[in-house]
Amino acid sequence: MRRSVIAAAFLAFSISAGSAQSSYVIVTPDNVATYKLPDQTTLDLIMTSRILDARGAEIGMVSQVLGDPSGQVSALAVSLTSNPAARVIVPYADLQPQIQGGELVFTTSLGAESLQTLPAWQ
């Protein structure tokens, strides 16, 4: 456990400073126990989730779960369907989880233009 906390602290410190990324910790199997995941979800379930717009069209896939230093999941790094090389940081508050066809999906009211203006995740 101590090793996981040290690794998480190192990872948070080593993420590029001076960008939005510096305030996030990547949630991994090694440190997931220190994070409060949303009810009835697992890290694996979130990592395989799609992101849908308000009409139900797929706009991205989760690439990383991001936490804050207080132990909360605070954002998801999302690979955009329109440009798979582009990954943006979507605040968790802008996402609504739901089960659809036996899988966890997140819907958002953010439009394509809004997604393009979110901070990039490297």
- Count the alpha carbons within 13 Å of 79 in the hemisphere toward its beta carbon: 10
Residue extents of the structural domains in the chain: 2-117
CATH topology of domain 2-117: SH3 type barrels. (2.30.30)
The whole-angstrom separation of Cα 76 and Cα 101 is 21
> Given a cut of 90, is residue 9 above it in pLDDT?
no
User: C-alpha distances in angstroms, 19 versus 15, 45, 64?
Assistant: 9, 28, 17
Q: Are 90 and 76 in contact (CB under 8 A)?
A: yes
Q: What are 24-58's pLDDT values in tens digits?
A: 999 999 999 999 888 778 999 999 999 999 899 99
| Bridge pairing between strands 73-80 and 58-67 | antiparallel
Q: What are 104-113's pLDDT values in tens digits?
A: 999 999 987 7
- Would you say the pTM of this structure is higher than 0.85? no
Q: How does the average pLDDT of the chain come out, rounded?
A: 82
Beta-bridge partner residues of 96: 107
